[in-house]
Amino acid sequence: MISEGAVWAIFFLPLAAFLLISLVIRPFLKAYPRQSAYVTILAIAGSLGLSSWLLYSAIEGRADLEFASHPWLTVGALEIRVGLMVDHLTAVMLVVVTGVSLMVQVYSMGYMKGDPGYPRYFALMCLFTASMVGLVLSSNIVQLYVFWELVGVCSYLLIGFWYNRPSAAAAAKKAFLVTRIGDVGFLLAILYLFFNGSTFNDAGLNPLEIADIHEGIGMGLLGSMAVTWLAVGIFAGAAGKSAQFPLHVWLPDAMEGPTPVSSLIHAATMVAAGVFLVARFFPVFEASQDAMSAVAVVGAFTAIFSATMGLASNDIKRVMAYSTVSQLGYMMAALGVGAFGAAIFHLFNHAFFKCLLFMGAGSVNHAAGTFDMRYMGGLRRVMPWTYAATLIGALSLAGIFPLSGFWSKDEILLHAWRGHGTVDAVVFWLLIVAVFLTAVYAFRMIYMTFHGQFRGGAEKEFQEQGEGAPAAGSHDVHLAESPPSMVGPMLVLALAAVVSGYLVNPLGFKEGFLGVAPHWFNDFIVGPGGAAVALEKFSFPLASVSVLVAAGGIGVATLLYVWPRVSLDGLGWPFKAAQRLLTERYYMDHLFEGQVAYRLFYRVIAGTLDWFDRWIVDNVAEFTGWFSRNIGRAISLVQAGQVQGYAVVTTVGVAAIVGAFLIWG
C-alpha cells in the first residue's frame, strides 16, 4: 500500500530539483550545466516510479485513496485545507504528466545543448512539472487554484524563455493575458462557493473541498441556475487553459518557446489542465444539462474551427498547435455528451502521440534549421528514424486503425452517435468533419516535410526572406539524423502510440486481451456501468466509416502534395480568399487586438478611467487644497499678534461658558 508521504513525494521531487538547480547548480556550478539535466531526469524519473506504483496499487485495489487533509487558513467559520485527492483519475493523470515530462527532459538534453540558459531551462521545467502534479493532487479548490496559476506563470516563463526575441516576449505576454480572462471566470466560481458556503456548512460539508462539492451537488444543495453558473465559471477557466474558442488565440503564438516546452505544454501540462479541470468537476456539469450542452458545442466547434486553420499554416509547430486545440475540442465535446471515460482515454492517448509529433518537429528543425515546411522536403532519406516515428504519430492523430488515436477518437464518436438529443447529433457530425480535416493537415505536414526534394532549409529561407525570416540566426542546415538523446524518446513514444489503445482491451474480448479485463480503463475511471455501456457495444460499421473518412483525408492530401493532379490555384479568387482567411486565423487576432483591446479596453475603459482621473480625482484633490488654504487664511486673521484681541476673545469665551452653566447647569 502506498503511503501519504510517497504520494507527496511525487510533487516534492521535481520541486526539490527546481530549488537545487536554482540555488546551487546555476549560481555555483556554471561550468557544469549538464548537471541540471541529470538532476531533472532523476527527480522526474522518481516521480514517474512513484506514480506508477500509485496506479498499480489503485488498479489492484490496494491504494488507500482516503488521505486526511490539513488545516491551512481559517476565514470566519470557513476552514481552507490542504490535502491529497487520490482517486483513479488522479492516478492516471500522474502517470501521463510524469511519463511525458520524463521523455521531454531526455529529449531536451540534445535539443537544448549549447544554449546559454540551459540550467534555467531545466529549473523551469521542474517547476512546471511540479505545478501540474500539484494541480492534479489537490483536494481543495483553493489549493488547486494556486497550482492552476503557477502552471500559468511557468508557461509564461517558458514560452518567453528566449526573452531577448521580441516575438517570444510578446507571445508569452499574450498567453498570460488571454488565459487570465478565463481564470477570472474560475475565480468567480470559487468566490461564489466561498460567499455561499453556509448551505454546505449546514449540511456538514466544506464548500471548498472538492469531494464535498461533489457530494453537495449530488444532495441538491444548490439550485439549478446556481449550478449552471458555477459550471460556466469553471468551464471559462478550462477554456482559457485548453485554448477553446474564443480563447484559443494564444496557443499558436506560444510556439515561440523551445520545442520541448511546446511538447510538454501541449501533451501533458497546461492545455491538458483545462480538460482535467472539467473532468475533476464533472458532477457539477452533470447536474446542469445547459452546461453540458455548452461544453459539447464549444468543444465540437473548436475541433473543426481549429482543424481548418491547420490546413493553411506552413509552420510545422503551428500546425501541431492547431491540432492540439482541435483534439482538446474532441475531449471537451466528449465530456459534454457524457463520454467521461472516452474523454480521459483520448487525453491519455493524445499525450503520447502529440508529444511525439512535437518532438518530430523539433528533430526536423534540428536538421533543416527552420520550422517552415516550404523549405523542408525529402528529409525521410536522411532522417529515417524521425520519419518513421512522426509517421506513426500522424497516423494515430488521423485516427487510423489500429493505432491508439483510433480507439479513443472512435469511442467519442460512438457515444455522440448513440445520443438521443439534437446536441449529440450536431457534435457527431462536426467531429466527423474534423476527422477528415485532421487527416488532411496531418499528411500535408508529412508530405511537405519528408517527401519530395529538399528545398534548402534555413539557408534558402534566409535568402528569400532576409532578416525577417523566422529562422534567421537560429540553426544552420546539417542534414543528418538527430542524436540518440532526441531519437530515443521519440521511439518510446511511437511505441506508446501503437500499443496504448490495446492495453485497455477496447474491443472487449471476454477472455481479456494481453491479460487485461474487458473495458477495464472505463470501469477504472468511472466505475462499472454508466458511460461504460458505449464501450461494451463497439460498433464496427461506425468505426469503418470514421476510418474511411480519415483515409479520404489522406487521399486528398496525397493528390495535392504527392501526385499534384489537382491544383487548388485553378479555383481562382475563392481559393485565395479562403486561404487568406485561414492564414489570418479568421481575423480573430485583429478582432481581439483592434476591437477588444484597442476600442473596448483602450478607448472605452481606459478613456473612462482617464476622464474620472482628470475630472473627479484631480478636482477633489484641488478642492481639498483650495478649502484647506482658505480655511487657513480665515483662521490666520484671528492670530493678529495683539494682546488686547486675545484678552477680548478669552473674556468672551469665559462669559459664554459661565452663561451656559447658569442656563443649563
DSSP string, 43-81: HHHHHHHHHHHHHHHHHTT--------EEEEEETTEEEE
Residue 561 CA to residue 567 CA, distance in Å, equals 10
Residue 355 CA to residue 489 CA, distance in Å, equals 10
Q: What is the mean pLDDT of the chain?
A: 85
What is the rounded average pLDDT of the residues 86-95? 90
What is the rounded average pLDDT of the residues 310-322? 91
Q: Is 606 part of a structural domain of the chain?
A: yes
327 near 348, Cβ under 8 Å? no
521 has pLDDT over 80: no
Dihedral, CA atoms, 260, 263, 264, 267, nearest 10 degrees? Answer: -170
Provide, rounded to the nearest whole percent, the portion of the chain with pLDDT above 70.
Answer: 88
Which of 288-302, 325-339, 502-516 is least confident?
Answer: 502-516
**Per-residue pLDDT at 517:** 58
- In three-state form (DSSP H/G/I as H, E/B as E, the rest C), the secondary structure along 593-644 is HHHHHHHHHHHHHHHHHHHHHHHHHHHHHHHHHHHHHHHHHHHHHHCCCCHH
**Per-residue pLDDT at 431:** 94
Q: Is 115 part of a structural domain of the chain?
A: no
Residue 384 CA to residue 481 CA, distance in Å, equals 7
Choice between 545 and 61, residue whose per-residue pLDDT is larger: 545
36 has pLDDT over 80: yes
305 near 245, Cβ under 8 Å? yes
207 has pLDDT over 50: yes
Residue 188 CA to residue 333 CA, distance in Å, equals 24
Provide, rounded to the nearest whole percent, the portion of the chain with pLDDT above 90.
Answer: 42
Q: What is the pLDDT of residues 233-275, one digit of tens each?
A: 999 999 998 888 888 888 888 888 898 998 888 887 788 889 9
The helix or strand, by DSSP H or E, that contains position 575, with its residue range, turns out to be helix 573-583
Rama region for 563: left / alpha / beta (φ>0; ψ in -120 to 50; rest): beta
Lookup: cell for 541: 460499421
Tell me the pLDDT band of 139, cut-offs 50, 70 and 90.
Answer: very high
Question: What distance lies between CA 357 and its chain's CA centroid?
Answer: 17
Residue 55 CA to residue 63 CA, distance in Å, equals 8
230 has pLDDT over 90: yes
474 has pLDDT over 60: no
Which of 256-270, 310-324, 397-411, 495-509 is least confident?
Answer: 495-509
Q: Is 486 part of a structural domain of the chain?
A: no
Residue 293 CA to residue 244 CA, distance in Å, equals 15
Q: Is 376 part of a structural domain of the chain?
A: no
Number of domains in the chain: 1
**Per-residue pLDDT at 271:** 82
Q: Is 632 part of a structural domain of the chain?
A: yes
The helix or strand, by DSSP H or E, that contains position 560, with its residue range, turns out to be helix 540-561
**Per-residue pLDDT at 277:** 94
Out of 369-373, 459-463, 635-639, the most confident range is 369-373
Residue 550 CA to residue 399 CA, distance in Å, equals 7
Closest CA to 391 of 347, 451, 331, 348: 451
Choice between 423 and 649, residue whose per-residue pLDDT is larger: 423
What is the rounded average pLDDT of the residues 359-373? 89
Give the chain's end-to-end CA distance (angstroms, integer). 86
Residue 388 CA to residue 497 CA, distance in Å, equals 12
**Per-residue pLDDT at 533:** 43
Tell me the pLDDT band of 296, cut-offs 50, 70 and 90.
Answer: very high
- DSSP letter at 82 equals E
Which of 305-309, 360-364, 648-652 is least confident?
Answer: 648-652
101 has pLDDT over 70: yes
What is the rounded average pLDDT of the residues 103-122? 90
What does residue 572 show for φ and ψ, rounded to 5 degrees?
Answer: 75, -145
Q: Is 646 part of a structural domain of the chain?
A: yes
- 10 Å Cβ neighbour count for 242? 30
Which of 345-354, 399-408, 461-470 is least confident?
Answer: 461-470
582 has pLDDT over 70: yes
Q: What is the pLDDT of residues 73-84, one digit of tens each?
A: 887 778 888 999
651 has pLDDT over 70: yes
Residue 141 CA to residue 148 CA, distance in Å, equals 10
360 near 389, Cβ under 8 Å? yes
Closest CA to 363 of 464, 496, 491: 491
Which residues span the domain enclosing 638?
590-664
Q: What is the pLDDT of residues 587-630, one digit of tens each?
A: 877 777 666 665 666 667 777 888 888 888 888 888 888 888 88
Beta strands in 162-252 (DSSP E): none
What is the rounded average pLDDT of the residues 209-238? 91
128 near 151, Cβ under 8 Å? yes
Lookup: cell for 73: 487558513
Residue 357 CA to residue 286 CA, distance in Å, equals 34
- 10 Å Cβ neighbour count for 281? 22
Q: What is the pLDDT of residues 434-473, one digit of tens each?
A: 999 999 999 999 999 999 888 877 777 766 666 555 544 4
What does residue 3 show for φ and ψ, rounded to 5 degrees?
Answer: -90, 165
Q: Is 324 part of a structural domain of the chain?
A: no
What does residue 556 show for φ and ψ, rounded to 5 degrees?
Answer: -60, -45
Q: Is 257 part of a structural domain of the chain?
A: no
Which of 34-38, 184-188, 331-335, 523-527 is least confident?
Answer: 523-527
Q: 78-82 and 70-75 as β-strands: parallel, antiparallel, unpaired?
A: antiparallel
Choice between 534 and 341, residue whose per-residue pLDDT is larger: 341
Collect all residues with Cβ–Cβ distance below 8 Å to 12 and sequence separation of at least 6. 130
536 has pLDDT over 50: no
